[in-house]
Amino acid sequence: MGRVDQKIAIVTGGGNGIGRAIAGRLAAEGAIVTVTDQNPAAGKAVADAVDTIQFLEHDVRIEADWAKVMDNVLQKHGRLDILINNAGILATESSQDVESTSLNQWQAVNAVNSEGVFLGCQHGIEAMKATGGSIVNLSSIAALMATPHLFAYGASKAAVRQLTKTVAVHCGRKGYRIRCNSVHPGVIETSMGDQVMALGGGNVKEKWAARIAAIPLGEAGTVDDVASCVLFLASDEARHVTGAALVVDGGMTIE
């Protein structure tokens, strides 16, 4: 208990999956958390379960929504200590190789996964630069390896990795005391994991089995595995860690 005691945090896409696990873990360790999501029912369910979590409806693609979220948090708490840019989507169509990806799908995936993180970092820096803080961006192992079946998604998550490093250097050189790191989950047991396996057709159970067989540790990760890594980077335990890419993949990307 208390690893982020009384710190003020925002978790985007916190209504389900990894985002929900992160919000719950931060709250359990003492943080006062604002969960944002486009799904009001999911977001409210998270907030209703924990007294120290509030919910705000938020589309990370819209700059005005970011301004409203930041204004709400700063008016209530006077500062922001932790920003977790977690909101993301996998696909908008049933196929996503380089030949089949439409411009609409490319733009839709990148609008959430890379532009949403850009806006989050920009507004987060403005909110934190006088007091310092930690920004954690959720990327993916898709940023670290070829993703022929996830063309737009892989490109968007690679953008997050590069953006993270640049934000880290910028904030360090400006003396803002804002750390910025990325977390790169591999095969994780979530609804998005099921969506990955369903892309392009085929037997989903067989795809899961094949993907797990490629993991040196021999099992898929859980949302709690990811949340634990995010908690470390958000906490003062990581005070000298910035620009890092923390991989949570059971060894899949070991070369």
- Exactly one of 25, 84, 153, 182 is catalytic; which is it? 153
Rg (CA), the chain: 17
Closest C-alpha to 111, from 35, 38, 201, 200 = 38
Q: Which residues of 21-32 are buried (b: 16+ CB within 10 A; e: fewer)?
A: bbbbbbbbbebb
176 in catalytic set: no
Show the tokens assigned to 135: 């920004």
Beta strands in 68-124 (DSSP E): 82-85
**Alpha-carbon dihedral 76, 80, 82, 87, rounded to 10 degrees:** 70
Rounded distance, CA 64 to CA 77, Å? 20
How far apart (Å, rounded) are the C-alpha atoms in residues 218 and 216?
Answer: 5
β-bridge partners, 57: 37
- Residues facing residue 179 across a β-bridge: 134
Q: How far is CA 93 from CA 22, 78, 192, 198, in A?
A: 28, 42, 14, 11
* DSSP three-state, residue 54: strand
Residue type, 223: V
Residue 221, classed as helix, strand or coil, is: strand
Catalytically active residues are: 153
